[in-house]
Structure 1
Amino acid sequence: MGNALRLLQRCFEQQQPPAKPQEPLGPHGVTPATVGVSALARDLFNFDISSQVPDGLSHYVVSSKKAQANWYAKLSAAWKQTHPPPSTPAEAARLIIQTLKGHKKTDVEGLLQFYGLSLPEALPETLPDGTKQQLLTAPVVYRDISDGDTINVYVAATTIPQDVRLAVEERARARAIRNFTHADALQKTIQAAGFRIKDGQSNRPILEKKYRIRLRGIDAPETAMSYGKEAKEALAKMVQGKSLRVVLYGVDQYERHVGDVFCDGIFIQEAMLRGGHAWHYVAYDRRPEFQMWESEARKARRGLWASNNPQKPWEWRRESRNG
């Protein structure tokens, strides 16, 4: 046991220089070098010594601290049995997925997101052309749902601009001396840069990057339109309080990330179309299944199709622009 612990410690030391005592540990800190494989190695080593799971993990998973400790015991044993130990993000992610097979999908994806890890195996088996990136998000809160086709999500920050990192560090110092006015001003600066900061246990900062997501291929009624509020509530019912998997394709003219959204195994665009909560946005997406799902809802007169002649959102926006 002692030899295994020393091997695990050497693995961590080779991958990352020792941090300063005041520096936050693991991916919940603000230093880019603390994410990924080295963070997992460090946290497993710390768990073997203290039986404590990392601060901030509960923000990303749904199970209890006792369950989290069970995961880390399994992961620690699996790590020691792997020769050579994981050295790349893909290998570390594969170890987590294989070791925790049978556990809640939300927990496994949350743990991966906590360490900024992802695997090609976590994507749909067949990806459409043009896929750029996959995100595993923090749980969605209601205020981040704009309408039935646009949502803000937050992802563990792995690359942090220098000015944001300095602002986070200065905010921590301001809070330490109880200068909350200055700390709040710095928080606004961090938010304006597209990041969100939360305080985990022991006041260690959790930094997350904001992505504004436009659901690809659908167009829901605007909130000011007839059925607009109902469409937003339909989306909120599916995603509120849950972590999402988002497959990104690019950025639109409004700097929103266009992507397919999945939650608990459900393809959100499909659910919105089948429920009659959105139109197939055929001008930007020609997937035939989208048209089929919309047609099914039309025939059944579900959602917005209960109206004889619902207004198209793109026409409503054009009329609004024209006064």
Structure 2
Amino acid sequence: MGNSLFKFLCGKFRRPTHGDEPQPLGPHGVTDATVGVSALAHDIFHFDITSQVPDRLSEYVVSSKKAQANWYKKLLDAWREAKPPPKTPEEASRLVIRTLKRHQKADVEGLLAFYGLPLPHTLSEIPAAPSSRPEGVKYELQTLPVDAKAVADGDTITVYVDTADPRESGNVPRGVHEAAIERAQARARKDYKKADALQKVIVDAGYRVISGPNNEETLARKYRIRLRGIDAPESSMPFGKEAKEELVKLVQGKCLKVYAYGDDRYGRCVGDIYCNGVYVQEKMLKKGLAWHYAAYDQRPELAKWEKEARAARIGLWVSSHPEKPWEWRKERRNGT
């Protein structure tokens, strides 16, 4: 696949140049801070071109070269599918562990040790997204990367889905398609007034033309997502700001998997959100930045995670009797 894949895999990493502060080099010739992720990315790229695995890997694992080649095939596919690809040692470790979970524990740990990546027992526990669609899910969304401004509060996000997605492609209104084409032509003529007017037509229809990092443009459908089963403090409530900031931290710049269970009375999609294998609702509950919304969702695991945060007096549970957001909203609707 040439140098483009290499840049895609490890463009964030580089060797020190003149003027950089000297740093110790790891076995792959990069700094200790980046050796794990960049070396793994480099070797995956190298395997894709040559079908060769690193020579020294056999010093760390017991399986044959043939078995090792099978690992790299799987890792190459997993890395390509990861959106975004791993950037930290922890993310790279989880990708390796998740991809090679059926292989010998000693080999997986040996591979991680070869790259200086964190071993399984040092990683905080993160649940994997369900391998099959959970019961009651009406549809599934794979979103484009989320903008921080799209997070309204601790339990609501606006996301966009590429209309090239099979679920979306057949449902785009003809007028939206035509407006997107005309907008591109107007921009090519530098008629930005016309282009802006057409963008408004597209936005009013529930879509948006989104520019990517290389100035490529994507026509995408807008969805407002209400996180199922939790209720975060409102922005002006105690811990409302912290809840929003935590949700931004979890999803900003990342592609999400949304299991949608239906719509609420405000037209929002009610769903479970997973981000790089992380179940977002679980994180929010365990950090004490959301209530279990038991009136609408009786899943016992949500109640358990809230109970654990209460017991640890984390987040909003530093108060013995924090105000419930649904009661706070009711009081304001009633003018009290």
TM-score by length of 2: 0.62
Amino acid at match of 2:151: I
Pick one of 81, 86, 105 that aligns with 1:108. 81
CA change 1:156–1:64 in 2 (3 A) is farther
What's 1:41 paired with?
none
Q: Secondary structure at the match of 2:140?
A: strand
Question: 1:200, 1:235 → 2: CA distance?
Answer: 22
Question: 1:165, 1:244 → 2: CA distance?
Answer: 25
What's 1:307 paired with?
319
Question: 2:79, 2:147 → 1: CA distance?
Answer: 16
Choose 1 or 2 for highest CA Rg: 2
- Residue 136 of structure 1 and its aligned partner are, at CA, apart by 1.7
CA change 1:305–1:204 in 2 (3 A) is closer
Amino acid at match of 1:102: L
Pick one of 325, 328, 333 that aligns with 1:316. 328
User: Which ranges of structure 1 fall in alignment gaps of 5 or more residues?
Assistant: 1-46, 78-97, 112-121
Pick one of 182, 191, 194 that aligns with 2:206. 194
Q: Secondary structure at the match of 1:223?
A: coil
Question: 2:220, 2:4 → 1: CA distance?
Answer: 20
What's 1:146 paired with?
152
What's 1:163 paired with?
175
1:178 and 2:190 correspond: yes
Matched-pair contact (CA < 8 Å) for 1:144–1:151 = yes
What's 2:292 paired with?
280
Question: 2:79, 2:173 → 1: CA distance?
Answer: 29
1:293 and 2:266 correspond: no
Deviations 1:143-175 (A, max 9, x none): 000000000111111322101011011111211
Matched-pair contact (CA < 8 Å) for 2:129–2:279 = no
CA change 1:146–1:199 in 2 (3 A) is closer
- Residue 184 of structure 1 and its aligned partner are, at CA, apart by 0.8
Amino acid at match of 1:101: K
Matched-pair contact (CA < 8 Å) for 1:218–1:279 = yes
TM-score by length of 1: 0.65
Pick one of 214, 218, 232 that aligns with 2:226. 214
What's 1:124 paired with?
130
Q: Secondary structure at the match of 2:225?
A: strand
Deviations 1:201-235 (A, max 9, x none): 88653111111111100000111212111111111
What's 1:15 paired with?
none
Matched-pair contact (CA < 8 Å) for 1:100–1:108 = no
Amino acid at match of 1:221: P
Question: 2:205, 2:3 → 1: CA distance?
Answer: 33
What RMSD in Å do the two structures reach over aligned CA positions? 3.4
Identity %: 50
- Residue 103 of structure 1 and its aligned partner are, at CA, apart by 4.1
- Residue 125 of structure 1 and its aligned partner are, at CA, apart by 3.0
Matched-pair contact (CA < 8 Å) for 1:246–1:259 = yes
- Residue 110 of structure 1 and its aligned partner are, at CA, apart by 3.8
Deviations 1:12-55 (A, max 9, x none): xxxxxxxxxxxxxxxxxxxxxxxxxxxxxxxxxxx8xxx7979x
Matched-pair contact (CA < 8 Å) for 2:83–2:254 = no
Question: Across the two proteins, how many residue pairs are aligned to each other?
Answer: 238
Matched-pair contact (CA < 8 Å) for 1:106–1:264 = no
Amino acid at match of 1:312: K
- Residue 189 of structure 1 and its aligned partner are, at CA, apart by 1.6
Question: 1:104, 1:234 → 2: CA distance?
Answer: 30
- Residue 311 of structure 1 and its aligned partner are, at CA, apart by 0.6
User: Which ranges of structure 2 fall in alignment gaps of 5 or more residues?
Assistant: 13-40, 52-70, 85-127
1:234 and 2:240 correspond: no
Matched-pair contact (CA < 8 Å) for 1:140–1:243 = yes
- Residue 314 of structure 1 and its aligned partner are, at CA, apart by 0.5
Q: Secondary structure at the match of 1:241?
A: coil
